[in-house]
Structure 1
Amino acid sequence: MVDTTTAPTAADVWLLARENPFPLLRSTQELVDALGVAYGDRFVSWRTDELVFGVQGGKLFLRTLGGLDVPAPKVVCVRQVPGSMRHDREVTLLRHLERMEAVLLNPLEGHIASRNKVWQLQELALAGLPVPDTLSYATAPLDGVLRIRGLDAPYVVKAVNGYQGKRVFLASDMPLLRDLAGSLDQKAPLLLQEYVTASHGRDLRVVVVDGKPVGAEVRTSPSGTLVSNLARGGRPTLCLGRHPRAEALAVAAARTAGLVIAGVDLLFDSEDSDDEDAFVVCEVNSVPGWRPGMTEVVPAVLRTVDRALRTWSAHSSLPGADGP
């Protein structure tokens, strides 16, 4: 946590994470430490609840809660989990930083699109990438949706804005799902997704940084349940380089989602786990975690930050360009 009354506030590189008292992810702390070593006093880590922002005298400003003016950074590594973002809160802060000409890694639009699983699927499908068949809705009542002619379970049921494998379950038959409908949280729409049987209890996570796969793991549910996310007890097996075509698919998915740093979850679409062509994209995450054994991730992020700094400096030196 930054001392907002005495700490130096001018820094070229920020890491912005979720508000206190939520602990930093292990991978986020690893990145904080590496950025601190790489950039020294040119780096600072902030939480979203440590800053205020607005307009004064016709100009945008940032300040600490202690009242100190904070110059806009050049590059911001955003580690605010999209699932907890709100448009009137975190999204507005990120937008403010972009309008002050900071380069966000990842860009705001990528974070917003990643927060909604249907938005992701729209873009991935339009780009010609393989995705599971999926049904969702806008304001239709869930009871009515579940009585659409032709629906035939099993389906994987998810909240459109869930994360870490939360609010995901397998509906084995439609009568059961209709009976459950009144008990389901309907603050956000749900989606009904094709059940890819070959991937039950396992998936492939690929970490992509700046267009390159830098980490990969097969995640397996220890109890035979559907969800294999590590946050739900999944067991990882590192496998970078084992599935090159799947890694190329992950790179394409990250690019389609507008993400420089991404965790792409792929489903096995064949009982033969060595079938390199048999994968579909499940979802794309804009704030991926990574295992300690994924030693290529942090160096790749540091190279990306350095490239963004050079790009920012080149742009600001152009005739007529305004710095933040």
Structure 2
Amino acid sequence: MHGWIVYNGHLKSPKFLDYAKLIQEAAHQKGISMTIYPNHELLSTMSGEGMSIAGTDTTEHPDFVLFGDKDILLARQLESMGIPVYNSADSIEACDHKGIMYQRLAQNQLPIPKTILGPKIFIKTDDLHLTHLQKEGEKLGYPLIIKEAYGSFGEQVYLVHTKEEMMKTLKSIHNRPFLLQQFISASYGRDVRLNVVGDQVVASMLRYSEDDFRANVTTGGKMEPYSPSVEEEELAVRASKAIGTAFCGVDLLYDEDEQPVICEVNGNAQIRNIYECTGINVAEKMIEYVIEQQGKEGEKDT
């Protein structure tokens, strides 16, 4: 088998290419060749004759693609050409837009913080009509969380303590999709990341920060290995299934009764930190999963 790995070539952090190289090496150890492409080298082209990929030597289609990016239209283009994509374009979109993500988790009656989606505003304006949103947001209690729908690594997340802070933040971000969310204060600066592959949690770690409400390592958090309970593992797998991911990172918060609450499902969860923390190479588990799925597809064809 031969596959492609797609990452975003315009993001300057080396972690994105590192993610691709970890997967490439894991595949090589299984005898599978993988070509790494930045998304800007794979151009989706369409005409009355159908769809294709241009921009590089892609005349030979891969057997599958591991998609480490959020270029949803490119992922959808590849799928439309009959190429299996992991994760699917639909699940990438659901993880990328936090509003869609929380809707799907709620539809499956999974524990999440109380959440209110902000209205679509489109433009930057001083004429804001947010009285209803403000009143509903105050029911969540202060402090509360404001999240932009698009964001990663704990960025675009704001903790506000008063009505004045809330309105100041909304005036700054209102032309972008956003939501208000209950703050799980008992989990201040603490969460658990569980990496799910298929139907299993394959690695997990506790993340914590001594001076930030976010526990992300990118924002300065620390990490240590964590042994999840059966219930935590089942919850993480259910969250992955609700979103439709083949593999993901599920972040859990804990309420005042130490019950887990799903913070987010990350379809492009970075795997270097958890490798260094636990010694478990999630990339190997991902490749094993793809081999299994490709084998099943081969059996269907015969």
Normalised by the length of structure 2, the TM-score is: 0.87
1: distance between equivalents of 2:279 and 2:176? 34
Amino acid aligned to 2:150: N
SS in 2 for 1:252: helix
2: distance between equivalents of 1:150 and 1:21? 34
What is the Cα-based RMSD across aligned positions, in Å?
A: 2.2
**Structure 1 counterpart of 2:9:** 19
Indicate how the Cα distance of structure 1 residues 63 and 21 shifts in structure 2: closer, same or farther if over 3 A, else same. same
SS in 2 for 1:39: coil
Following superposition, the deviation at residue 179 of structure 1 comes to 3.8
**Structure 2 counterpart of 1:266:** 252
User: CA offsets, 1:251-285, max 9 Å, x none?
Assistant: 110011101101001111136xxx5xx01111101
Following superposition, the deviation at residue 35 of structure 1 comes to 1.6
Residues 118, 133 of structure 2: 8 Å contact kept: no
Which sections of structure 1, spanning at least 5 residues, go unmatched? Answer: 1-10, 83-89, 318-324
2: distance between equivalents of 1:258 and 1:215? 19
**Structure 2 counterpart of 1:307:** 292
1:107 pairs with 2:96? no
**Structure 1 counterpart of 2:182:** 194
Which sections of structure 2, spanning at least 5 residues, go unmatched? Answer: 122-127
2: distance between equivalents of 1:138 and 1:190? 8
1: distance between equivalents of 2:47 and 2:164? 58
**Structure 2 counterpart of 1:35:** 27
1:154 corresponds to which of 119, 137, 143: 143
2: distance between equivalents of 1:20 and 1:153? 38
Amino acid aligned to 1:72: H
Structure 1's consecutive aligned runs of 4 or more residues displaced over 4 angstroms after TM superposition are none
**Structure 2 counterpart of 1:228:** 215
Of residues 117-126 and 204-213 in structure 1, the stretch that sits farther from structure 2 once superposed is 117-126
**Structure 2 counterpart of 1:71:** 60
SS in 2 for 1:119: helix
1:51 corresponds to which of 35, 39, 42: 42
Normalised by the length of structure 1, the TM-score is: 0.81
Amino acid aligned to 2:208: T
Determine which structure has the larger helix proportion and give its number. Answer: 2
SS in 2 for 1:110: helix
1:286 corresponds to which of 233, 255, 267: 267
2: distance between equivalents of 1:116 and 1:21? 19
1: distance between equivalents of 2:67 and 2:146? 29
- Larger Rg belongs to: 1
Residues 103, 308 of structure 1: 8 Å contact kept: no
Following superposition, the deviation at residue 315 of structure 1 comes to 3.6
Of residues 184-193 and 96-105 in structure 1, the stretch that sits farther from structure 2 once superposed is 184-193
Following superposition, the deviation at residue 148 of structure 1 comes to 2.6
Percent identical pairs in the alignment equals: 24
Aligned residues: 288
Amino acid aligned to 2:161: S
Matches within 5 A, 1:74-223: 74-80=63-69, 82=70, 90-139=71-120, 141=128, 143-148=130-135, 151=138, 152-182=141-171, 184-223=172-211
**Structure 1 counterpart of 2:124:** none
Following superposition, the deviation at residue 145 of structure 1 comes to 4.8
